[in-house]
Amino acid sequence: MSLLIVGILIKLPAFFNPHPPLLREGDGVLYHRLLEILQPASASFGALFPLLAFVLLFVQAVTLTRFVNNHRMMARPNYLPGLSYMVLTSLLPEWNYFSAPLLVNSVLLYVLTALFNTYNRPQARGTIFNIGLALGIASFLFVPSLVFGLWILLALAILRPFRIDEWLLCLLGITTPFYFYAVYIFLNDRWDWNTLLPHISVALPSLKQSAWLAGSIFLVMVPFMAGGYYIQEHLRRMLIHVRKAWSLLLLYLLVGMLIPFVNTSNTLENWIMALMPMAAFHGFAYFYAKWKALPVIVFWLSVAFILCYQYAGPGWI
């Protein structure tokens, strides 16, 4: 309940200034169709998209917290990863917009949980196929999410002995949605290879520099580096499955930071795909900080920055 209250309080401006979702180059055909379905409802209820975005963020925060607690990635259960995620996503207004990357974050949480469930399971072919299938569907929401195929294969290499049939089964799952989409466009006389095959391009994103952006990056990176330091410090005392879980999240983070360079845009929505593992590192830093006043200071400094951005700065427009 406290997580919900904090989330509502620091995200209120998203409801005062509803931001309509904008279509970008990386958005997939499934996301286009979803917006077409939701647009009539949003015309009569202007806060629909901010409400959907908030629900997605809150559910993702709760799911991340459960993943960390269920696998005992810290000494005792706590809500710090979810709290960190709600605070992190409030540092920039773009991370509170209804967007394809935000939707894909929910799919990646399922993939994260399913991947870790394959650890120490002799037979996990059905789960591995479902993991690939989930990523294939995610690519129809947001095309650059296909890059996470690299994360999945690396995760399988960490969690399981190498079996070529499992890797091929995962790749089959990824391509399955493309097969059914090819059948659909063929039967509707709209066959075109350019329509079927995802367009992937790599470039440097061009972002507008500002003091607010620099402040947000500072508040993202400092707790993350502290979390990485504390994880390294406690690594030898961790159980093997906990070490693998943190390795999985680190790989998730590294691949998530590649996404903004694929089908790049001049907005910051794509960076939200790196915030899920980032929040877990923040939560670890808050929990294991040697100087107990430090997490309190960082948290309230972040909240003060968010409120200043919203009400004294450029605002969430």
Does residue 105 form part of some domain? Answer: yes
Place of tokens 């009569």: 44
In sequence order, the β-bridge partners of residue 187 are: none
Residue 41: strand, helix, or coil: helix
Q: Answer for the pair 265, 205: CB distance below 8 angstroms, yes or no.
A: yes
Does residue 317 form part of some domain? Answer: no
Place of tokens 């055909």: 29
Q: Answer for the pair 285, 203: CB distance below 8 angstroms, yes or no.
A: no
Does residue 163 form part of some domain? Answer: yes
Listed range (75-84, 91-100, 178-187, 276-285) with the worst mean pLDDT: 178-187
**Which range marks the domain in which residue 47 is found?**
2-312
Q: Answer for the pair 27, 142: CB distance below 8 angstroms, yes or no.
A: yes
Alpha carbon distance 273, 267 (integer Å): 13
What pLDDT, in 10s, does the model give residues 51-63? 999 999 999 999 9
Average pLDDT over residues 77-90: 93
Torsion of CA 11, 14, 16, 18, to 10 degrees: -160
Alpha carbon distance 194, 267 (integer Å): 25
- In this structure, the number of other CB atoms found within 10 A of the CB of residue 250 comes to 15
Residue 129 predicted with pLDDT over 90: yes
Does residue 168 form part of some domain? Answer: yes
Does residue 107 form part of some domain? Answer: yes
What pLDDT, in 10s, does the model give residues 198-220? 777 777 776 777 888 888 999 99
Place of tokens 């899920």: 276
Supply the mean pLDDT for the chain: 88
Does residue 187 form part of some domain? Answer: yes
Which pair of structure tokens corresponds to residue 94? Answer: 């773009």
How many folded domains does the chain comprise? 1
